[in-house]
Amino acid sequence: MSSLYSTVHQKLWGYHKVDIEEDEEQDLHPPRMLGRHYNSTSGSVLGVVSPYLGWALAVLFAVALVANQRFEKHSNLDSPLMEGFNMDTQVIRVNGSLDWPSPYRGPPSPEVDAAWNRISIIRPLDIPLTRDEFLRLDGDAETAVQNAPEHGGQYFLVPQSTHHFHCLNLLRKSTRFKFDYYDAFDPDFTKNREMFEMHLDHCVEILRQFIMCHVDVGVVTSHWIKGHKKPWPNFNTEHVCKDYEQVLEWTEQHQLPENTPLMPMKPSGVFEMDSPP
């Protein structure tokens, strides 16, 4: 059974498929803090949230991958991505260890950014929806953005999951350990601090609603650990997960060409909403 599971999944996503035919002891990674330190002179307004982000990022990332197979169609409604393939699910043991060496964590670096960019930056999708199909998604086609004619003219569509990962990535960058590094060059770190904080709060709220929508009804056990007086939670729990690599590969194959702008410019004469939705 384990031969069916890709090593790439384990390295990228931080979990492994559970082999129910084997009775081998799972390595729960005894707790130990990493010996590295982050240099920062930041006094950012976001420092107050940093004590919670390490735990929150791990939980949010795990929850983003969890789905119950019984609610597959219901949870995605009329998403055109569901028409592209049959969604596979698998029983996964998420790696929730404190020091899991995931490619998505650690000090700021081009390598860590590249891992996050791969899942959070996707060009517009090349999906030719009819007007009726669009109306099932949104309900208002009059003001809908479309790609420029030279880029196909389709409705402007991006995967919902990339927005979730964008928000999670912004929280990662905004911890006091990493804020100064990204504040120097990242376009999301606008000098308008009020707008930046609004963006950050928006991301927290989007992820809160997503987690509530996909509430995990599993339970977490705890163990006594030598050298620790308090219970130590075991977040290495099993879940029924969508195959995220399958979704990512499909979206990468159905993007518009590389010369397509990430966002189209507004042409003249289009219908406009009076205020954002």
Tell whether the model's pLDDT for residue 26 goes beyond 90.
no
Dihedral angle computed from the Cα positions of residues 52, 234, 14 and 213, in that order, rounded to the nearest 10 degrees: -60
Q: Which two tokens stand for residue 263?
A: 């966002």
| The residue type at 16 | H
Token match 């009329």: residue? 78
Tell whether the model's pLDDT for residue 24 goes beyond 50.
no
**In this predicted structure, what is the pLDDT of residue 182?**
94
Smallest CA-to-CA distance from 271 within 166, 142, 80, 141 is with 142
Tell whether the model's pLDDT for residue 31 goes beyond 50.
no
* 122-162 tens-digit pLDDT: 888 888 888 988 888 888 888 999 988 888 899 888 888 88
**In this predicted structure, what is the pLDDT of residue 220?**
78
Question: Rounded CA gap, 35 and 104, in Å?
Answer: 18
Contact 257, 247 (CB under 8 A): no
Tell whether the model's pLDDT for residue 86 goes beyond 80.
no
Q: Which two tokens stand for residue 37?
A: 């330190």
Would strands 221-223 and 15-17 be described as parallel, antiparallel, or unpaired? unpaired
Task: Give the residue, 91 or 26, on which the prediction is more confident.
Answer: 91
Task: Give the residue, 247 or 33, on which the prediction is more confident.
Answer: 247
**In this predicted structure, what is the pLDDT of residue 25?**
38
Question: Rounded CA gap, 72 and 235, in Å?
Answer: 24
**In this predicted structure, what is the pLDDT of residue 73?**
46
Smallest CA-to-CA distance from 19 within 40, 3, 35, 36 is with 3
**In this predicted structure, what is the pLDDT of residue 233?**
86
Q: Looking at residue 262, what DSSP letter applies?
A: S
Q: Looking at residue 106, what DSSP letter applies?
A: S
**In this predicted structure, what is the pLDDT of residue 94?**
85
| The residue type at 1 | M
Contact 162, 121 (CB under 8 A): yes
* Average pLDDT over all residues of the chain: 76
Tell whether the model's pLDDT for residue 165 goes beyond 70.
yes
Please count the residues of the chain.
277
**In this predicted structure, what is the pLDDT of residue 87?**
74
Q: List the beta strands (DSSP E) in 85-185.
A: 89-94
On the 0-12 / 13-18 / 19+ scale of CB atoms within 10 A, 238 is: middle
Tell whether the model's pLDDT for residue 108 goes beyond 50.
yes
Q: Where are the domains of the chain?
A: 2-18+44-122+158-244
Task: Give the residue, 264 or 6, on which the prediction is more confident.
Answer: 264
Contact 94, 237 (CB under 8 A): yes
Task: Give the residue, 221 or 243, on which the prediction is more confident.
Answer: 243
Question: Rounded CA gap, 143 and 159, in Å?
Answer: 19
* 9-20 tens-digit pLDDT: 444 445 555 443
Q: Which residues contact 99 (CB under 8 A, 6 or more apart)?
A: 29, 31, 32, 33, 34
Percentage of the chain beyond pLDDT 70 is 69
**In this predicted structure, what is the pLDDT of residue 203?**
95
Task: Give the residue, 191 or 112, on which the prediction is more confident.
Answer: 112
Tell whether the model's pLDDT for residue 202 goes beyond 50.
yes
Q: Which two tokens stand for residue 160?
A: 């919902």
**In this predicted structure, what is the pLDDT of residue 199?**
93
Contact 239, 62 (CB under 8 A): yes
Token match 């009059």: residue? 142
Longest CA span, the chain: 69
CA separation, residue 33 to residues 29, 98, 101, 229, 232 (Å):
11, 7, 12, 16, 13
Contact 96, 236 (CB under 8 A): yes
**In this predicted structure, what is the pLDDT of residue 116?**
94
Of the pLDDT bands very low, low, confident and very high (cuts 50, 70, 90), residue 72 is very low
